[in-house]
């Protein structure tokens, strides 16, 4: 505990130092120094980016935080300050708890499966010599499919009346009811989401693998006969930066970008089907017109994502070695 | 030189036409064939007069149309006309400053307005407690029972009028190789319209019409629970097919000739004529003979058009003209024929009848006849805030009932509890 707080203090100091150094013109770093004649010029260059961030991130965030403390009529005629009531309502509802639980489960499974399968395919494709490019093209091409289209294709495969997978399950005596049975729908959601994300992971893992130097591989070959050991001790650590980047991206994907897939699979009417927290924010805010409640939920989500990101960078990135 | 003169003249002409015409916008939530018909109606209106130009814009589904209308209103960019569906009616009617009452708008524009011209079933739902029309009923539908003619011939039985009769004929239909019954959107069919068709109270405060304050939903009564216990019993016996909350999934077995009966919307008729390649007919939605006073009219579903406030007078006049145009018997009959939605005025109904439309297509008359049945104390529909969310709760619980996760009485207890929480929350936002 003391150790952590000390380190935080240290990093704060260094940040301040850096800021001070950045401000003073005397910084003894002539090689990297960029010169601007006027102090305003750098800000001018930053302005477009800052404007985008402010308009599309900070301003809506502030709005969301503000309206999460109010109970408001949809048309905006009157808002009553209700303190943290909206948060209490959300957190106390059993429905919210079960949605949060499913979201966690969904993120875990989708991330694990799509990272694992992406890596497996990349390792296998890396070894293929003849026809390598056609394999790669086939694997990557799925990535060109937009999430709603992926959802639609998935929905056709899982359709209650004409879905081939439903028929297949029926052949084995299982009554697959996507849209009615909670876990059947969960299976469909996970399958489609993973299928959509594998090519993305595949591309990055493959390029990561190809950047492992041949000399290192050959040296490893002398040290160990077991392919699995070589992979575990040499390839995997060298892939770590890629894997870490993909982990962050995949969790974000599972939490947010699967929205269109869910929307298509539950057909805009979730009923008892599993949904993620983001979908619930949309449901309550846009379909239910409950702005305060929906804002409170999205603030909770913001906090969770911020915490998750900090955790990832603090505990995982330290184990990652960038080349 | 000559060219410049022509261009100038052209610009001058364009200028005058643009100046003289008032442009109004109409956001709606209709897709497919029904969306095309909206474009055709707008074109008809634009051709019929020269002062106003109406532009229809599709905003996705009903729910999306309502939320984008609300978002637009909050930023001052609202359209002149917004289509709002039945479940969203309470939301927009409670927001008094957001709309101009259709009736006020029409009389202010110097046009005539006669409440009595509308058929009984559509008079209340979009009106305030004094009966003043806030919304202009537009696409009105009723839940009706479609049946596969061949299925009943094969089974040698008659289409049921009541649920008791259904119980009597269902085994024969099953015997003949059909799934006896499917139904789309159980919230609308088996709760909201179950209430009106069987004359059952749905909410306190006169079904919610009298006040937003303290309105409570009533769904745990024995009749409502009995309806779903029967449905579950039928489902277990293979007499009723439940395919989730989606509309189309429950319509498909009927379209494919697998189910003998389907409770759908009268507005489905237009589409069904194209997708079902067998002989089908329709009748009123069944009711329970055992319930005293049952067999009353159903209330209208579908959607109404609302004139948004904050628009210049010239535009409001155009909106009023369009509303009057819409209620003219000719427009109504055109719309009725093109979509299957019911004509909303007596005059339009008479016109369609005199044209012999119903001799040719008897199914098209079922919806309007059901809306014109005798009314009861509780057959006029409901008004409850946050109702789209209450429907979401119902959909969730219904799925649970049919996947054996919860018993019927428990499911309705949950619906009532969560529904009342939502209603209380709504009364706070409106207050």
Domains of chain B by residue range? 17-141+300-364, 143-297+385-430
Residue-by-residue pLDDT tens, chain B, 431 positions: 445 555 555 554 454 444 568 999 999 999 888 899 999 999 999 999 999 999 999 998 888 899 899 999 999 999 999 999 998 998 899 888 999 999 999 999 988 899 999 987 788 889 988 889 999 999 999 999 999 999 999 999 999 999 999 999 999 999 999 999 999 999 999 999 999 999 999 999 999 998 889 999 999 999 999 999 999 999 999 999 999 998 889 999 999 999 999 999 998 888 888 888 899 999 999 999 999 999 999 988 889 999 999 999 999 999 999 999 999 999 999 999 988 899 999 999 999 999 999 999 999 999 999 998 988 999 989 999 989 889 999 999 999 999 999 999 999 999 999 999 999 988 888 76
Touching check for B397 and chain A: CB below 8 Å?
yes
C-alpha to C-alpha distance for A156 and A152, rounded to whole angstroms: 6
Instruction: Say what the pLDDT of residue B343 is.
Output: 92
B residues 222-251 near A, CB within 8 Å?
242-246, 248-249
C-alpha to C-alpha distance for B106 and B119, rounded to whole angstroms: 19
Strand partners, B58: B28
**Integer CA distances (angstroms), B108 to A134, A227, B95, B136, B318, in order:** 70, 85, 21, 15, 11
**Integer CA distances (angstroms), B149 to B159, B269, B277, in order:** 9, 15, 12
CB burial readout A112-134, b (16+ within 10 A) else e: ebbbebbbebbbebbeeeeeeee
A contacts of B243 (beta carbons < 8 Å):
160-161, 179-180
> What is the nearest CA distance from B246 to chain A, expressed in angstroms?
6
Statement: A93-319 belongs to CATH 1.10.3720.10: yes
Total residues found in chain B within this entry = 431
Q: Do B95 and A74 touch (CB under 8 A)?
A: yes
Common-topology check for domains B17-141+300-364 and B143-297+385-430? yes
Touching check for B398 and chain A: CB below 8 Å?
yes
Q: Of A73, A80, A161, which is closest to B95 when you measure between CB atoms?
A: A73
> What is the nearest CA distance from B397 to chain A, expressed in angstroms?
7
Q: Do B399 and A75 touch (CB under 8 A)?
A: no
Give A34's pLDDT tier (boundaries 50, 70, 90): low
| Angular region, B199: left φ>0, alpha ψ -120 to 50, beta rest | left
B143-297+385-430 CATH: 3.40.190.10
The answer to whether residues B40 and B82 touch, using CB atoms and an 8 Å cutoff, is no
Q: Do A161 and B73 touch (CB under 8 A)?
A: no
B contacts of A71 (beta carbons < 8 Å):
425, 428-429
B17-141+300-364 CATH: 3.40.190.10
pTM exceeds cut of 0.80 = yes
Q: Say whether the ipTM exceeds 0.95.
A: no
**Integer CA distances (angstroms), A114 to A118, A121, A253, B329, B417, in order:** 6, 10, 11, 59, 40
C-alpha to C-alpha distance for A121 and A137, rounded to whole angstroms: 12
Dihedral of alpha carbons A164, B403, A290, B134, sign: positive
Q: Of A75, A271, A292, which is closest to B70 when you measure between CB atoms?
A: A75
Interface test with A, best of B73, B74, B244, B310 (most A CBs within 10 A): B244
| Angular region, B241: left φ>0, alpha ψ -120 to 50, beta rest | beta
> What is the nearest CA distance from A292 to chain B, expressed in angstroms?
10
Instruction: Say what the pLDDT of residue B300 is.
Output: 85
Q: Of B67, B248, B430, which is closest to A287 when you measure between CB atoms?
A: B67
Q: Which helix (H) or strand (E) holds B108?
A: helix B102-108
Instruction: Say what the pLDDT of residue A16 is.
Output: 56
Give A316's pLDDT tier (boundaries 50, 70, 90): confident
Instruction: Say what the pLDDT of residue B73 is.
Output: 94
C-alpha to C-alpha distance for A102 and B300, rounded to whole angstroms: 38
Touching check for B430 and chain A: CB below 8 Å?
yes
Q: Do A75 and B252 touch (CB under 8 A)?
A: no
Q: Do A289 and B91 touch (CB under 8 A)?
A: yes
> What is the nearest CA distance from A73 to chain B, expressed in angstroms?
5
B contacts of A182 (beta carbons < 8 Å):
403, 405
Q: Do B63 and A290 touch (CB under 8 A)?
A: no
Question: Which alpha helices (H) appear in B289-431, and where do they start and end?
Answer: 313-327, 329-339, 346-354, 357-360, 363-371, 387-402, 408-430
Q: Report CA B142 to chain centroid distance, whole Å.
A: 7
Instruction: Say what the pLDDT of residue A23 is.
Output: 58
pLDDT at A7 over 90: no
| Pairing relationship of beta strands A70-72 and A79-81 according to DSSP bridges | antiparallel
Q: Report CA A173 to chain centroid distance, whole Å.
A: 36
A contacts of B425 (beta carbons < 8 Å):
71, 89, 290, 293
Q: Do B95 and A272 touch (CB under 8 A)?
A: no
Q: Do A75 and B246 touch (CB under 8 A)?
A: no
Interface test with A, best of B245, B252, B254, B255 (most A CBs within 10 A): B245
Q: Of A80, A181, A287, which is closest to B428 when you measure between CB atoms?
A: A80
Question: pLDDT per residue over B126-182, tens digit each?
Answer: 998 888 999 999 999 999 999 999 999 999 999 999 999 999 999 999 999 999 999
> What is the nearest CA distance from B205 to chain A, expressed in angstroms?
21
> What is the nearest CA distance from B207 to chain A, expressed in angstroms?
20
Question: pLDDT per residue over B42-72, tens digit each?
Answer: 999 999 999 999 999 999 888 889 989 999 9
Touching check for B201 and chain A: CB below 8 Å?
no
DSSP 3-state of B175: helix
Instruction: Say what the pLDDT of residue B128 is.
Output: 86
C-alpha to C-alpha distance for A38 and A28, rounded to whole angstroms: 20
Instruction: Say what the pLDDT of residue B295 is.
Output: 94
Q: Where are the domains of chain A?
A: 93-319
Touching check for A272 and chain B: CB below 8 Å?
yes
C-alpha to C-alpha distance for B167 and B87, rounded to whole angstroms: 31
Q: Of A161, A267, A272, which is closest to B400 when you measure between CB atoms?
A: A272
Query: What long-range pairs does A152-161 form, CB within 8 A, spacing at least 24?
Result: A152/A264, A153/A192, A154/A188, A154/A191, A154/A192, A154/A195, A154/A261, A154/A264, A154/A265, A155/A188, A155/A264, A155/A265, A155/A267, A158/A188, A158/A265, A160/B243, A160/B244, A160/B249, A161/B243, A161/B249, A161/B252, A161/B253, A161/B256
**Integer CA distances (angstroms), B288 to A162, B200, B219, B293, in order:** 34, 11, 17, 9
- Degrees (nearest 5) of the Cα angle A295, A297, A298? 65
């Amino acid at each position: 505990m003391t150790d952590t707080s000390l380190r935080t203090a240290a990093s704060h100091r260094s940040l301040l130092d850096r800021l001070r150094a950045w401000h003073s013109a005397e910084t003894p770093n002539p090689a990297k120094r960029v010169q601007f004649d006027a102090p305003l010029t750098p800000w001018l260059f930053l302005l477009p980016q800052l404007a985008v961030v402010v308009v599309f991130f900070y301003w809506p965030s502030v709005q969301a935080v503000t309206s999460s403390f109010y109970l408001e009529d949809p048309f905006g005629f009157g808002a009553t300050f209700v303190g943290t009531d909206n948060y209490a309502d959300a957190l106390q509802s059993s429905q919210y708890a079960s949605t949060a639980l499913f979201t966690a489960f969904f993120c875990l499974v989708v991330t694990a499966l799509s990272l694992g399968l992406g890596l497996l395919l990349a390792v296998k494709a890396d070894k293929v010599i003849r026809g390598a490019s056609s394999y790669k093209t086939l694997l990557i091409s799925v990535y060109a499919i937009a999430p709603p289209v992926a959802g639609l294709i998935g929905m056709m495969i899982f359709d209650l009346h004409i879905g081939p997978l439903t028929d297949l399950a029926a052949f084995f005596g299982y009554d697959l009811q996507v849209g009615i049975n909670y876990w059947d729908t969960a299976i469909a959601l996970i399958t489609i989401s993973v299928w959509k994300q594998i090519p993305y992971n595949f591309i990055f893992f493959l390029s990561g693998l190809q950047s492992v130097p041949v000399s290192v591989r050959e040296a490893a070959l002398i040290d160990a006969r077991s392919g699995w050991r070589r992979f575990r001790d040499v390839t995997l650590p060298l892939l770590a930066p890629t894997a870490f980047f993909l982990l962050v991206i995949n969790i974000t994907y599972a939490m947010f970008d699967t929205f269109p897939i869910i929307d298509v699979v539950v057909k805009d009417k979730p009923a008892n089907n599993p949904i993620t927290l983001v979908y619930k924010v949309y449901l309550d805010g846009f379909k239910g017109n409950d702005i305060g409640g929906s804002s409170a939920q999205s603030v909770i989500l913001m906090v969770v994502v911020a915490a998750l990101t900090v955790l990832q960078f603090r505990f995982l990135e330290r184990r990652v070695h960038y080349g | 030189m000559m060219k410049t003169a022509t261009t100038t003249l052209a610009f001058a002409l364009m200028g005058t036409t643009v100046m003289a015409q008032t442009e109004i916008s109409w956001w709606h939530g209709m897709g497919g064939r029904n969306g095309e018909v909206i474009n055709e109606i707008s074109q008809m209106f634009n051709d019929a007069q020269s002062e106003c130009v109406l532009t229809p814009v599709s905003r996705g589904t009903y729910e999306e149309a309502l939320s984008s209308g609300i978002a637009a209103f909050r930023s001052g960019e609202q359209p002149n006309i917004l289509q709002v569906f039945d479940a969203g009616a309470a939301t927009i009617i409670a927001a008094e400053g957001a709309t101009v009452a259709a009736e006020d708008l029409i009389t202010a524009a110097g046009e005539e307005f006669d409440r009595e011209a509308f058929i009984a079933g559509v008079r209340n739902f979009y009106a305030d407690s004094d009966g003043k029309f806030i919304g202009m009923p537009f696409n009105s539908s009723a839940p009706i029972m479609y049946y596969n003619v061949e299925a009943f011939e094969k089974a040698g039985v008659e289409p049921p009028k009541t649920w008791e009769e259904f119980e009597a004929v269902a085994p024969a239909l099953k015997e003949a190789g059909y799934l006896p019954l499917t139904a789309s959107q159980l919230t609308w069919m088996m709760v909201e319209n179950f209430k009106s068709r069987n004359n059952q109270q749905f909410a306190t405060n006169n079904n919610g019409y009298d006040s937003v304050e303290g309105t409570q939903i009533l769904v745990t009564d024995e009749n409502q629970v009995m309806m779903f216990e029967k449905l579950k019993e039928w489902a277990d016996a293979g007499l009723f097919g439940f395919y989730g909350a989606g509309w189309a999934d429950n319509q498909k077995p009927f379209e494919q000739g697998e189910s003998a009966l389907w409770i759908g919307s009268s507005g489905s008729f237009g589409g069904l004529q194209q997708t079902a390649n067998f002989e089908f007919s329709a009748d009123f939605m069944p009711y329970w003979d055992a319930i005293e006073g049952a067999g009353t009219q159903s209330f209208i579903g579908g959607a109404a058009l609302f004139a948004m406030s904050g628009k210049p007078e010239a535009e409001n006049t155009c909106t009023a003209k369009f509303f009057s145009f819409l209620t003219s018997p000719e427009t109504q009959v055109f719309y009725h024929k093109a979509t299957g939605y019911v004509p909303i005025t007596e005059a339009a109904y008479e016109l369609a009848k005199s044209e012999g439309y119903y001799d040719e297509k008897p199914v098209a008359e079922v919806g309007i006849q059901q809306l014109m049945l005798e009314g009861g104390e509780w057959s006029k529909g409901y008004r409850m805030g946050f109702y789209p969310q209450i429907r979401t709760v119902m959909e969730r619980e219904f799925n649970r009932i049919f996947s054996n996760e919860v018993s019927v009485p428990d499911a309705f207890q949950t619906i009532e509890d969560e529904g009342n929480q939502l209603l209380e929350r709504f009364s706070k936002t409106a207050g």
